[in-house]
Amino acid sequence: MKIEDLKVGDTYECKVDEDMDHPFKGKVEKIYEHSALMEIVENDPKDNSNKMELNNKIVVSIKKIKKIK
């Protein structure tokens, strides 16, 4: 995915190498040069404590964001 393809308010499939152990769905809140601030909207129940620690928000690299099929 390219950074130009992201739209604020749209939801995408995301994966990060730290902080969250499983893939999750995130809604774009802000777009940066090579990443985006995502609101975690759907996650594996095993990551609920991680989500709470992050206050439902996480920065995700553009390389780790995919369109939802």
Predicted confidence (pLDDT) per residue in 26-55, tens digit: 999 999 999 999 999 999 999 999 999 999
Q: Return the half-sphere exposure (C-beta side, CA atoms, 13 A cut-off) of residue 64.
A: 20
Is a pLDDT exceeding 90 seen at residue 1? Answer: no
Q: At 69, is the pLDDT very low, low, confident or very high (cuts 50, 70, 90)?
A: confident
Whole-number average pLDDT of the chain: 96
Q: Which helix (H) or strand (E) holds 50?
A: helix 48-53
Q: How far apart are the first and last CA of the chain?
A: 13
CATH number assigned to the domain with residue range 3-66, chosen from the 4 options 2.60.40, 3.40.50, 3.30.1540, 2.30.30 = 2.30.30
Range list of H helices, the chain: 48-53
What 3-state DSSP class applies to 25? strand
Query: What span, in angstroms and rounded, lies between the C-alpha atoms of 6 and 28?
Result: 8
